[in-house]
Copies of this chain bind each other. A is one copy, B any other.
């Protein structure tokens, strides 16, 4: 099963490479966030039926079996060694070092709850800093979910 995922991802990446389009271009053409588009092409998200024609228009080399596969719910996963990559490590470093502060601010501003990672948007943007240099902005935007009080209702 895992091997199938790996093989499908290799095929999807080949289709993208042949198209010569970037994730940003594909995101533009389909109306999705750039990170989500990239997740679709590595089978970390499910392609919704109404989005399939848009993606096919952007990537006409997508075959029917590939599209069919992309529409089934994937087993979300990652290679644990991924954390070695400097870009991924620094994101992880920020999350772990700032995590308790982020949690407490959520508690103060929202209450006893979390930011959902399921009803969730993520995007990468390019902006200019005050020194005119490029900056990367990664936005995590998730629904606030309050911890439910477990009242006996049934």
Contact = CB atoms under 8 A, between A and B. Distances in A.
Consensus secondary structure, chain A interface: mixed
When all copies of this chain in the complex are counted, the total is 10
Interface residues of A, number: 102
A60 interface: no
A122 interface: yes
Interface string A5-43: 000011001000000001110010001111110110010
B90 A109 contact: no
28 contacts: A22-B108, A23-B108, A31-B151, A35-B98, A38-B100, A39-B101, A45-B147, A45-B149, A45-B150, A77-B85, A78-B84, A82-B96, A84-B96, A84-B97, A85-B100, A88-B96, A89-B89, A90-B117, A90-B142, A91-B95, A91-B99, A92-B95, A92-B96, A92-B99, A94-B120, A110-B134, A115-B135, A119-B148
